[in-house]
Amino acid sequence: MDYKIVARIPDIETFARLRAISGLSPRSRDGMEKGLPNSLFAVLVVHRGHVVGMGRIIGDGGTAYQITDIAVDPIHQGKGLGKAIMAALIDWLEREAPEKAYVSLIVDGDARHLYGKFGFQPVMPASIGMARVMVKTP
């Protein structure tokens, strides 16, 4: 298969590139500089020396974790790489997260089927996900 999963936080350029080509929304340079080093755990998918996928876990390291930034270069999609990224993230959580820790993620479209294979379930109607994107005004 010629793909390798590596436990490593993406650099800013890789993070921005993978988000853009996989259809995820952009993040500010300032946000990436502050946020990426604070990742609890991250993996990269490397193919012939090039990073073609990523996933991260963020949170407080005890009570709350969020799986985020799952992205695979469209050229390499359909090869089980999203599943491999999730498996690596879940493996880390099973080793490191305390019992009763809350692990969440935001699902777009049919990705819910992938995440369901790892035990994630919709939280509605008891809860709904909410988000706010920060916008700075001059």
pLDDT given at position 130: 87
Please check whether residue 13 is in contact with residue 29, taking contact to mean a CB–CB distance below 8 angstroms: no
User: How much of the chain exceeds pLDDT 90, in percent?
Assistant: 80
For the chain, list the domains and their CATH numbers: 3-116 (3.40.630.30)
Q: Which residues of the chain have pLDDT under 50?
A: none
Edge-to-edge order in the sheet of strand 64-72? 3-7, 41-47, 50-59, 64-72, 102-104
CA separation for the pair 59, 68 (Å, rounded): 10
Neighbouring C-beta atoms of residue 20, cutoff 10 Å: 12
Query: Strand ranges (DSSP E) for the chain?
Result: 3-7, 41-47, 50-59, 64-72, 102-104
